[in-house]
């Protein structure tokens, strides 16, 4: 089924899939949901969606490995990376790989749809009220950058950062520090 209003949601959080799917259905979209990379690729081949919302951190892998597969199947698909584990390095990498945009969770339906309409709502504050990121946030982003440079290899990343692999794994399981 090829439909201009078909949207593929890829996220391993079943509740999030359901809530976002219902919100998009109410706005006239035909929603296809997938909770794994394999399901996402199969759904993209079968339904040929015009848009996709892709979680960066899936239970078994990264959305950054799914993104190129979706673009091969449907080169003109608009992919929005949506994540609770944001970092500058993954945002840059996602855009380089062909993502339309990158949003941090929680993002409401209006923010998501604004990305696809090309009228993105700017939620970043500017001017003198903007606070610099904390040291913990900078450390999180540095870890993400080094992890990306090592293609997700936790052992190599831990060696470069001078920490034990298990310590790094624990840090990666935690949510990123707020700005």
For 106-163, the pLDDT digits (tens) are 788 888 888 888 776 554 433 444 555 666 777 777 788 788 888 888 899 889 888 8
Instruction: Looking at the structure, tell me whether residues 46 and 109 fall in a common domain.
Output: yes
Q: Do residue 110 and residue 22 come from a single domain?
A: yes
| 178 occurs within a structural domain | no
DSSP secondary-structure letter at 130? P
Q: Residue 83 has what pLDDT?
A: 83
Cβ(82)–Cβ(54) under 8 Å? yes
Please check whether residues 24 and 112 belong to one and the same domain. yes
pLDDT tens for each residue of 40-84: 999 999 999 999 999 988 877 788 889 999 999 999 999 999 887
- pTM, entire model: 0.68
CA 112 – CA 121 distance, rounded (Å): 9
**Residue 101, domain extent:** 6-117
Domain count, the chain: 2
Kindly list the distances between the CA atom of residue 153 and the CA atoms of 80, 89, 97, 148, in Å, as whole numbers in the listed order: 25, 16, 19, 8
Residue 122 covered by a domain: no
Residue 62's φ and ψ, nearest 5 degrees, are -120, 145
pLDDT for res 124: 43
Of residues 23 and 89, the one with the higher pLDDT is 23
Please report whether residue 107 resides in a domain.
yes
């Amino acid at each position: 089924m090829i439909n201009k209003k078909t949207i593929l949601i890829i996220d391993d959080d079943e509740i999030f899939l359901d809530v976002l799917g219902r919100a998009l259905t109410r706005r006239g979209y035909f929603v296809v949901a997938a909770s794994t990379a394999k399901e996402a690729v199969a759904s993209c081949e079968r339904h040929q969606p015009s848009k996709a919302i892709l979680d960066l951190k899936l239970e078994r892998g990264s959305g950054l490995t799914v993104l190129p597969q979706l673009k091969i199947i449907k080169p003109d698909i608009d992919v929005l990376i949506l994540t609770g584990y944001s970092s500058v390095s993954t945002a840059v990498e996602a855009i380089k790989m062909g993502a339309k945009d990158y949003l941090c969770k929680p993002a409401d339906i209006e923010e998501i749809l604004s990305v696809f309409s090309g009228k993105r709502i700017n939620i970043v504050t500017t001017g003198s009220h903007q606070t610099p990121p904390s040291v913990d946030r900078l450390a999180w982003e540095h870890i993400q950058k080094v992890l990306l440079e090592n293609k997700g290899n936790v052992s190599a990343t831990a060696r470069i950062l001078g920490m034990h692999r298990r310590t790094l794994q624990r840090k990666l399981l935690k949510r990123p520090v707020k700005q």
